Amino acid sequence: MKHTRQLYTSLLILFTLFATSCKSVDKLVENGNYEETIRLAQKRLSGKEKKNPKYVAALEKAVNKSIQRDLDQADYFANSGTPDWGRIHGIYEKVDRRQRALQPLLPLSDKNGRYAQFNFVDLGDRLAATEGKAAEQAYANALANLTKGRAGDKRAARESFQDFATTERYRANYRDARTLREEARELGKVFIFVTTVNESGGYLPRGFEEELLRVETNNMDSDWRYYDFAARPGVTYDYDAQIVIRNIEVSPERITERSYVDEQEITDGDEYVLDARGNVAKDTLGNDITQPRRVIVRAQIIEILRSKAAVVNGSLVLYDNRLNRIVEEEALTAEAVFNNYASTFSGDRRALSRSTRRYVGNRAQQFPSNEALILDAADVLKPRLQELLATSYRTI
């Protein structure tokens, strides 16, 4: 009886899931979700000997309706005032792929012997015709953008490059598309010269500029943007990226001294236990009774902190050499800090706390020179500088 109930419950669950699936696929067709209907029906029908009539009917209806919908859409775009032949060709390709994907299921009949009727369309001529028109249209767009690129419009040159690539995707070796695409590539390149300008009124230590400009360009250079930190002969730079240093501050050398006492209660050997009369207490066997001896130990700690800091303030200024104006400016700030802890103690080492032990024995270091600390600030500044240069494409 128990097994019968379990079997009944399992069958009920399976029936419920089956009914829900059939209902959901019908709902998908009803709501016009043809692609999802086709995907689900193909999954349910593949490899099954007895095809479920619900899924066969749903697949038939979804395929035929989707074909008609897509062909109507392609006709609408084709008859518009400015047809996008690439988009129209893409619609025909989608219909063709869908029809080819169904071939493994054909002929398709359900378990009742009914065959599905698919209204497939031969798209060979339409694909060929729209492919040629799409190539011609992309080529015309590429030429128009190339003309702008030759006049100095870098963005248009890059769009021209993409249009020529699209042309060749539709028709390989189309006219002179490959040659003109390379011209568009060269016209679309942007060259940025990065340099340092000191407006702080102070002296920059030797090697500051070299250290600041020693940044990784792997994530900065691209197919279109090229950064140079040393001017190259024959290159006309589109932008100057100026690292403007406006203020440099170095704090005085500070020495802070602090004295404190660490105190611990510890076990230091054993001691005799005395009875009420002041004599050594005995156990039942007559042995002397001892106990751990607890004592308080102390240590005097002298801690010395040496500190010094350098702050460099400025900005990254992106200057458009063609427009002769600043197009972007971002703040730059970096701080290099020197901290040196050294401490000594007198008294019992056992009294030292864990935090005190970390520094006891550290030797006092000499203060770095102002120049060395400013160079450290330049090293701190590099990641921020690299980030700003790498994201300059938003403006360029």
Query: Does 7 have pLDDT greater than 60?
Result: no
Q: Partners of 266 in the beta sheet?
A: 295
More confident residue, 275 or 396: 275
**Rounded mean pLDDT, 167-180:** 95
Does one domain contain both 212 and 179?
no
- pLDDT of res. 159: 96
Does one domain contain both 215 and 141?
no
- pLDDT of res. 81: 86
pLDDT confidence tier of residue 354, bands split at 50, 70 and 90:
confident
**Rounded mean pLDDT, 67-86:** 93
Q: How many domains does the chain have?
A: 3
Mean pLDDT of the chain: 85
Cβ-contact 82, 132 below 8 angstroms: no
- pLDDT of res. 124: 94
Q: Which of 92, 121, 150 is the last residue of a domain?
A: 121
Does one domain contain both 197 and 339?
yes
User: Residue 356 domain-assigned?
Assistant: yes
Does one domain contain both 215 and 89?
no
Q: Which of 121, 140, 172 is the last residue of a domain?
A: 121
Query: Does 20 have pLDDT greater than 60?
Result: no
Question: How does 290-325 read in b/e, with b if 16+ C-beta sit within 10 Å?
Answer: eeeeeeebebebebbbbbbbbbbbbbbbbbeeeeee
Does one domain contain both 336 and 247?
yes
User: Residue 292 domain-assigned?
Assistant: no
Q: Which of 188, 206, 221 is the last residue of a domain?
A: 188
User: Residue 325 domain-assigned?
Assistant: yes
Query: Does 64 have pLDDT greater than 70?
Result: yes
Strand pairing class (239-250; 190-198): parallel
Please, what is the angle between helix 124-150 and helix 85-102, to 10°? Answer: 140
User: Residue 283 domain-assigned?
Assistant: no
Reported pTM: 0.65
**Rounded mean pLDDT, 111-117:** 89
Query: Does 78 have pLDDT greater than 90?
Result: yes
- pLDDT of res. 12: 39
Query: Does 16 have pLDDT greater than 70?
Result: no
139 sits in which H/E element:
helix 124-150
Does one domain contain both 206 and 179?
no
Q: Is the dihedral of CA 141, 144, 149, 152 positive or negative?
A: negative
Does one domain contain both 35 and 139?
no
User: Which residue segment(s) compose the domain that 176 sits in?
Assistant: 128-188
Cβ-contact 307, 339 below 8 angstroms: yes
**Rounded mean pLDDT, 238-264:** 92
Highest-scoring range by mean pLDDT, 122-131, 289-298, 356-365: 122-131
**Rounded mean pLDDT, 123-131:** 95
User: Residue 22 domain-assigned?
Assistant: yes
CA contacts within 13 A on the Cβ side of 180 = 27
Highest-scoring range by mean pLDDT, 22-36, 190-204, 236-250: 236-250
Does one domain contain both 194 and 180?
no
Does one domain contain both 235 and 175?
no
Strand pairing class (190-198; 225-228): parallel
Query: Does 333 have pLDDT greater than 90?
Result: yes
pLDDT confidence tier of residue 68, bands split at 50, 70 and 90:
very high
Query: Does 151 have pLDDT greater than 50?
Result: yes
What percent of the chain is predicted at pLDDT more than 70?
Answer: 88
Query: Does 211 have pLDDT greater than 90?
Result: no
* pLDDT, tens digit (0-9, with 9 covering 90-100), for 309-330: 999 999 999 999 988 999 999 9
Query: Does 338 have pLDDT greater than 90?
Result: yes
CA pair distance 235, 192, nearest whole angstrom: 10
What percent of the chain is predicted at pLDDT more than 90?
Answer: 47
Does one domain contain both 72 and 152?
no
User: Residue 281 domain-assigned?
Assistant: no
Strand pairing class (254-272; 239-250): unpaired
pLDDT confidence tier of residue 390, bands split at 50, 70 and 90:
confident
Q: Is the dihedral of CA 321, 325, 327, 329 positive or negative?
A: positive
